[in-house]
Structure 1
Amino acid sequence: MINTIDLFCGCGGMSCGFQNAGFNIMEAYDIWDAAIKIYEKNFKHPVYKKDLNDDDTIEILKGKKPDIIIGGPPCQDFSIAGNRKMGERANLTIRYAQIIAAIKPKWFVMENVYNIERMPILPEAIKIFKEAGYGITSKVLDASRCGVPQKRKRFFLIGNIEAQDGFLDEILETNLSEKQMTLYDYLGDSLQTEFYYMHPRSYNRRAVFSIYEPSATIRGVNRPIPSGYQRHNADKADISEGVRSLTTKERSYIQTFPEEFEFVGSKTVMEQVIGNAVPVKLAEYVANCILEYKERG
């Protein structure tokens, strides 16, 4: 049994994926009340509201003796969707590295947006991991090749205290699906529509998609079709052809949360929590790659 702690757990996408792979999630930590309420609804182990910058954090976690710590430090300051100013959220990446270095679990997994690779904070964090004795593997994974019906690229940094750098590269690469997963592959006809609307970041982008392709990245915003919407030349259908927006629950399916996973709170909050989550099957993919490495001995 691999004892696991999830830091910056959100509503539990990483926890759910690692749990599906057989890891024992001991407990989880976050500071976002809305996400914690959802997490509590769906897991038997405890989740704690905690500012991980607090001085007592390392002392608390040291006593738990986890085999692996997983987590996705908040990434909005790195996101192409918003402000790129390097602020307090970016510093949480360094805090995560400091926690790992102090506790020294055998393994860690850090998840973030793919463009963290271009940010100066990443080499700083890697330096902390390396000085603590970790061999590391890093890779940007396309979720649609990891069992998720969604074009979503995420950065993973995986550390093992006893390994050389690049130890997981081959397994992460060779297990990828050659074909991108579509909504139809994952959900069949259950949406009861061939085309759906997903509000774009700008009207320079298309907004109407087919179930026979991967979804665009699920964001924390789900708006209805605007009145007078003008068809984009790349849209898969015209709005008049029975196109509709997806429900909050349907969007959680695209994030590969199971049907029984309960979401609570206002619609706005649920959309934000779902959009911020690590897709369950993407986390499960990484977890299974770690297990394969361990089995190879």
Structure 2
Amino acid sequence: MTTAPLHRLALGVETLDAVTGRVTGTALRVGRERPRRPGRQRSGGRRPLDPLLQRADAPLESNGSGRHLLLHDLRRASAGPAGESAVVRIDDPWRRYVPRRLTVPLWTLAEVEAAEAAGRHIPVRSRLLRPWLWPGSAYLLPSGATGLRGVVHAADGALPWARVEARLDANGALVGRAHGDERGEFLLVATYLGVRDLNTASPRIAVRISVFGPGSAPEPADPEQDPLAGLSVEQVPRTPDRPPPLDAALDTPLMRGESLPQGYRQSTAGSVLVRLPPGRVLSEPVPFPFSP
């Protein structure tokens, strides 16, 4: 007796914590973006009755472990469009992580079936996306962590989706990165600052905070429609199937969120000097300026 599969893997998404480097292991919203469909509205309201129609994406399958699946449905036509891709969005409604949007070329069902017919399966790792997620405003830092909370402002108010770097003022060594959210808020976790014993009083460490943002102002997002509409879409190259990809092929500056999105540039306002207290998280009340 033979059995026929009902689906095959199109894309696997495994989200990693940028601080720990481990699988997030927490409930995230991961989906494939789709065109907004008109839905039934409540009387006098703007939101559809169906909660799924409130989303701008179709949720990927998940078991709640930080891993999500986009599947080819074999009950449909097996021929996929040439050059098919998916815009994957990752969002955390509890603000523990900052959202990301990535365009990913897919191995179509036709390509998967053709490879199997030829006796060479496309490795699962060739269909795997492993993006790092950076701390959001509600991220739980361990005791003794060194960090900085702040907000980035442009000329007309908070700058959404900024990128932030911290470098030692003494030698320019990179000690931390952060992604800003739609409110311009960021939480930067600093790595080794040269302080060996955090249990003793240590002088504050001088670091330079640099801000990066889009050269032109993003379109304002309507929270009622799509709060992530202004978030840049990062272009992911296709992972080859031969040779089977190693960890280095899946762990790139783009996947780590270290590469700047297209059109981003460093603020012409220059860096800001901040003195971080080792072993504590400093909340800076003065906004960090961004000028394109």
TM-score normalised to the size of structure 1? 0.27
Give the strand-richer structure, 1 or 2. Answer: 2
TM-score normalised to the size of structure 2? 0.28
Give the helix-richer structure, 1 or 2. Answer: 1
